[in-house]
Every structure is written in C-alpha cells, then in structure tokens.
C-alpha cells in the first residue's frame, strides 16, 4: 500500500458503525473514496451524514460489485451486516483489495460450527495466497496494550492470572436476546483475552456460560503456551437504563474503566479511569486503523479465525454441544 496520504478506502455499510470507521480513516490521512449500501436512499443518506459530520465526500454505490469495478480501492472496510461478511470480504479480496472487517468476522445461522470456521479459513487462505492483508476490527484489542502499560506503571509486570472484561451497550429498543448480544459484543471480550494471553488456547472443558435476557456471561480458562491457565470472566449485555455504556476491565487486582471523552481539540478519545488517576488515549478504533495504515497488525487473519472459533464455540456449548464435538483435533 502507498503511505496513508495516498490510500483510497471504500466502506461497505456506512450508515451504522461504518460512519465511525470512515471518520477515523479520514482523520488518519486516508481518502474515503466511496461507500456502498443496499438502496439508493440509504446510500445518499449515509453520504450526507458523512459530509455533515466529518466533511467526507465519498461517491455512493448500490452494491459492492459496481464500487469495486469503478473505484479499485486500496482497502475495503467491510461494515455490512455480519451475515454478508463472507461474500463481501471474498469479493474485495478477489478484486485485489486489502480488507478490514468489522466484528463478528462471520455469521450465518444456517451453518454448523465446522462449516462456519471453514468459511473463515477460506478467506484467510485467499488473502494469504494473494499477498493481501485481512484483519478484524476489534478495537479493544488495540486498546488492551495501553491498559497493560498502565498496570505495568504500578510495578505489576508479572503475568496475569485472572482477567475480567465487562462491556455493555444500549439495547436501543431491541428485545432481549443473549445470543445476539454475545455475537455483537463477544468478539471484543475474546479479543482482549487473545491479546493478554498471547498464543493462548481456550480450555474448552473449562467453559461455563449463562445466557439469559439481555446478558451473556462466560467463565473460561485460556491456557498459555507453557501450560499455565488464565481465568477469564467475560460479561456482555445490553442496557435499558443509564449509563448507556459500561467498559470495565480487571487484570488481577488492577481495575480500570473506559469512558468516552474529548481531547483538547474536541476529538473523541478514550478516558481511562483507574485508582491511580485518569488517563487519556486516542479512541481505540482510531488506534486500530492507524496501526493498519502503518502496516502493523492488531488482529490478523489467524486472530480473526480464533476469535470466531471461540465466539461460535461458546454459543454451540450453550445450545448443547460438547467440547469434543467442537474441537476433536485439539486438546
């Protein structure tokens, strides 16, 4: 890829989370050259919203095929509904574009666990064979190193033995559905475990999960390459009362909470509240996109496949599957 000033990015699905992606691509120096949606009216509404909020003026397309043919972007940022991620990521890779894919990596309720993981592996192999980058947008994976750095500043540099991650977001009028909540927020929780236990593998026999109402709770051990487990307590939920968002992390006895704030220039950033003080970092999604543009991986293809494996495997266990059914070839 050229340097960030010359990179052309197309966003597939810019009406929701994609508008925030577009904002950070633009602020980090890339050109958001185009967006794609499903209907002319929604595409025009998304274009107007990007212009009004961020001064971004992309061209709009109905359908990814027309966009890829006309624009030939360097990067395609896939923010379409998860059920369409496989076709959109594949189309972008086949058009010789690098790809950033919003979480969850893939979703297809018609597929069994093994078939879904196979789809993910197909995409990773396609990217590898073409020499293209395929990465997952899980911004808390980009923010976790900052949290670990703050922990280290207190003198705690020993390996983590227990990890707690709690992420809650507004229900927005949606009915209770813990599987939906897990598929939406679970990738973030899992990504923090992946960063904090590098090279670790989930001990499937340790999984304890409770899915009820608006909440999904999972307790499991991630085992380091040397064999030492890290006990992870993962909680995600939709909220129907204030505060609308909760982002809490604990690394053994070191705890912190992430809040939204604005820096001295009025730009959205992360405020990290700890017992030792309050710290500010760039928005974690902005950090992830900056790393992507710099050629550094936060969550590469292998990371994305493992994230999906844990996400879908936990759901399967909740639905009655046995760990041995999910991972016959792994300990």
Strand-pair partners of 219: 208, 233
Whole-number pLDDT of residue 329: 54
Whole-number pLDDT of residue 136: 98
210 CA to centre of own chain: 22
Rounded distance between C-alpha atoms, residue 252 and residue 161, angstroms: 6
Whole-number pLDDT of residue 21: 97
- Kindly report the three-state secondary structure assignment for every residue of the chain: CCCHHHCEEEEECCCCCHHHHHHHHHHCCCEEEEEEECCHHHHHHHHHHHHHHHCCCCEEEECHHHHHHHHCCCEEEECCCHHHHHHHHHHHHHCCCEEEEECCCCCCCCCCHHHHHHHHHHHHHHHHHHCCCEEEECHHHHHHHHHHHHHHHCCCCCCCCEEEEEEEEECCCCCCCHHHHHHHHHHHHHHHHHHHCCCCEECHHHCEEEEECCEEEEEEEEECCCCCEEEEEEEEEEECCCCCCEEEEEECCEEEEEEEEECCCCCEEEEEEECCEEEEEECHHHHHHHHHHCCCCCCCHHHHHHHHHHHHHHHHHHCCCCHHHHCCCCC
Whole-number pLDDT of residue 15: 87
pLDDT in tens, the chain (331 residues): 545 668 999 999 988 899 999 999 999 999 999 999 999 999 999 999 999 999 999 999 999 999 999 999 999 999 999 999 999 999 999 999 999 999 999 999 999 999 999 999 999 999 999 999 999 999 999 999 999 999 999 998 899 999 999 999 999 999 999 999 999 999 999 999 999 999 999 999 999 999 999 999 999 999 999 889 999 999 999 999 999 999 999 999 999 999 999 998 999 999 999 999 999 999 999 999 999 999 999 999 999 999 999 999 999 999 998 877 776 454 4
Q: What phi and psi, each to the nearest 5 degrees, are found at residue 196?
A: -80, -20
Rounded distance between C-alpha atoms, residue 280 and residue 269, angstroms: 7
Whole-number pLDDT of residue 328: 46
Whole-number pLDDT of residue 1: 53
Whole-number pLDDT of residue 324: 73
Structural domains of the chain, ranges and CATH numbers in brackets: 4-102 (3.40.50.720), 139-326 (3.30.360.10)
């Amino acid at each position: 890829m050229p340097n960030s000033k010359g990179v052309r990015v197309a966003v597939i699905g810019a009406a929701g989370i994609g508008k925030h992606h577009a904002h950070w691509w633009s602020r980090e120096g890339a050109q958001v050259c185009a967006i794609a949606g499903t209907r002319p009216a929604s595409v025009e509404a998304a274009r107007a919203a990007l212009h009004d909020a961020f001064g971004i003026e992309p061209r709009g397309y109905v359908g990814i095929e027309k966009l890829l043919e006309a624009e030939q972007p360097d990067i395609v940022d896939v923010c379409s509904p998860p059920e369409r991620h496989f076709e959109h990521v594949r189309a972008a890779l086949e058009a010789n574009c690098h790809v950033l894919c919003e979480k969850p990596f893939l979703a297809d309720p018609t597929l069994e666990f093994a078939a879904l993981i196979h789809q993910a592996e197909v995409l990773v192999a396609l990217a590898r064979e073409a020499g293209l980058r395929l990465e997952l947008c899980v911004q808390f994976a980009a923010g976790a190193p900052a949290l670990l750095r703050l922990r280290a500043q207190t003198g705690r540099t020993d390996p983590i033995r227990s990890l707690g991650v709690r992420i809650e977001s507004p229900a927005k009028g949606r009915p209770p559905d813990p599987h939906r909540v897990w598929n939406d927020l679970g990738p973030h929780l899992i990504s923090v475990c992946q960063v904090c236990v590098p090279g670790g593998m989930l001990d499937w026999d340790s999984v304890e999960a409770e899915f009820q109402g608006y909440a999904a709770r999972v307790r499991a051990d991630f085992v380091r390459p040397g064999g030492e487990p890290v006990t992870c307590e993962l909680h995600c939920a939709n909220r129907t009362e204030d505060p609308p968002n909760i982002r809490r992390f604990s690394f053994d006895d070191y705890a912190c909470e992430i809040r939204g704030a604005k820096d001295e220039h009025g730009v959205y950033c992360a405020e990290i509240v700890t017992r030792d003080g309050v710290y500010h970092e760039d928005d974690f999604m902005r950090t992830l996109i900056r790393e992507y543009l710099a050629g550094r991986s936060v969550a590469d293809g292998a990371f994305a496949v493992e994230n999906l494996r844990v996400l879908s495997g936990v759901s399967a266990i909740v639905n009655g599957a046995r760990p041995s059914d999910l991972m016959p070839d792994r300990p």
